[in-house]
Structure 1
Amino acid sequence: MIEIIQTGPFNTVQDLGRTGFRNIGVTTSGAMDPLALKAGNNLLGNENGAAVLEIQTYPFKLRFAKQTAFVVTGADCGASLDGRMVQPWCALPIEAGQVLELGQPRVGTRAYICIAGGIDVASVMGSRSTSLRGAFGGSEGRFLSTGDVLKLGEVSTALNFPATGLAVIDPAYALTNFYPANEDGALVVRAIPAGEHALFGADAERFWMQTWKISTQSDRTGYRLMGEPIKPTTPVEMRSHGVVSGVVQVPPSGEPIIQMADANTAGGYPKIAGVIEADLWRLGQARIGSRLRFVRATHAQAAAVEKAVATFIDDIRSTSRMVCDALQAMK
């Protein structure tokens, strides 16, 4: 078990999300940075989508009640174990009673605490993710609270991690060749023109050319962008239709909204673009107030990045298993 000693709002239990229920109005939820979740779980030998803690308000502190192993991925938040700094993206063995603390992020915004066996909360509609809007899943459908005690899942085959830990390269560096570099400090995000792109006429080009800013009116549901408004050439009235994470809609104000992990299940605003799935994790680490630009991508380019990310995750799992097995054999 683990006990939450110190926390703040917006910290939740998440996995890869709740799929198959959007037709009845149930959001997917899940990690805002799914790559960080997958990397941590595969490093520990967990199932790919085991439940973890998603932390976005700090400081955060928890106590481990039993011997296990953990890793902190995502944002670099100066994690410490009993007051001693621990390396991010590094799986470490831990003893009962030890305390893990996360400080304000140096880079990124959301950290993920992955623990061997995963967080064992009740599965609702096939997922342990917290749905804040629906008030179910995770820890009673709410933010984590001081004093919460969470169970951990059983570990079928415990990995033998060295005392110094077993680290992987932060995907921001490991996958550099597959992601565009920032431009003048703005995050570059790839997207594919969507169904109503042509309705925006010349403004469609301004959507791609200008730099947007993530406004304070942003959360897990969506990022509202600030910039010179873009509007259709003629007023558009549309029936509500299904939307998913990554869809970029344009409300009457002309300031686009990127649907995120808790995306609405339906909406009637025209869609100008769709962020490719492999770039959503970078948006999940973007801070309020940061700037971003969109660049056009093709389906083939999106598939190539997805393949590179999948290979990265597979390499983490196989390398972790190989190293831990070798250490076990040496005992």
Structure 2
Amino acid sequence: MVNYRYLGNSGFKVSEITYGNWVTHASQVENDAAIATVHAALDAGITTFDTADTYANTAAEEVLAEALKGQRREGLEIFTKVYFPIGPMGPNDTGLSRKHIMDGIHGSLRRLNVEYVDLFQAHRYDYETPLEETMQAFADIVRQGKALYIGVSEWTAEQLREGHALAKQLGFQLVSNQPQYSMLHRVIEGKVVPASEELGISQIVWSPMAQGVLSGKYLPGQPVPEGSRATDEKSGANFIQGWLRDEVLTAVQKLKPIAEQAGLTMPQLAIAWVLQNPNVAAALVGASRPEQLADTVKASGVKLEADVMTAIDEALAGVVNDDAEGTYSVSPKSRLV
């Protein structure tokens, strides 16, 4: 079964392996298969589910709602997000203005068929809206009981500090940040993690397997496997391209004997690695088939010894992105519509 961790400086616990439906539901897989993977996640002990209004242009939330129908609401932790364009993409259909945030929470609650979400997240930072306006809207949503906690995604250390200070003034907690983090992508370690540890903010990390590259199935000098994420535009093929360089794939192959010696599969090693960071509350995993989850959940509770962590660093030397400046280029400098 899956272990639980506290989210930020709160009393709220989440499953340390969290099911995310970014590029699967209503996109990569048919609804019946998506529902089957959610049921497999529940059977494996995962009770925390992450989605967003922008995934499949709102359809992913609806599929998740269908998959969770009949489950005890109090036994689930449901996360969603707001920021990116949805619907007809009019001038107020994006960003973190009060209008879009309020429209966002009401739309998500309707599609998810719930009275509240456990965590409502700012999917990016909005440079066009005063932060005070954004945080006041979140404070009102918490007071109205429509979201229990507030988080963000891909905010810089400075943005986290400013958001945390405003949240405190307004009487609610900023408990989480959702950045990309993996053995290959470590840009949050320089500034974001230290600031978060100081502020009592946890990381909920996405792409802990570097879009599947850390599974080891992509081989240097070889065509990408048929049916893999790298061949499917709907499942994020553009996101994986940066990791498909031969020098990266060659380094990743060096992880295989390390995983074997630790008694783990490559996916388990990748997920266990991010969970060694005490600031990480949860690793987001997706699945296109139920059996994939049976493997990944076994990473929960795994303790990697110091020599294993060192061996991983040595294997990936020269191909890891650990430039802290990378955190400053994720949020768009202007709205997308």
Do the structures match in fold with TM over 0.5? Answer: no
The structure in which a higher percent of residues are helix is: 2
TM-score, normalised by the number of residues in structure 2: 0.24
Structure of greater Rg = 1
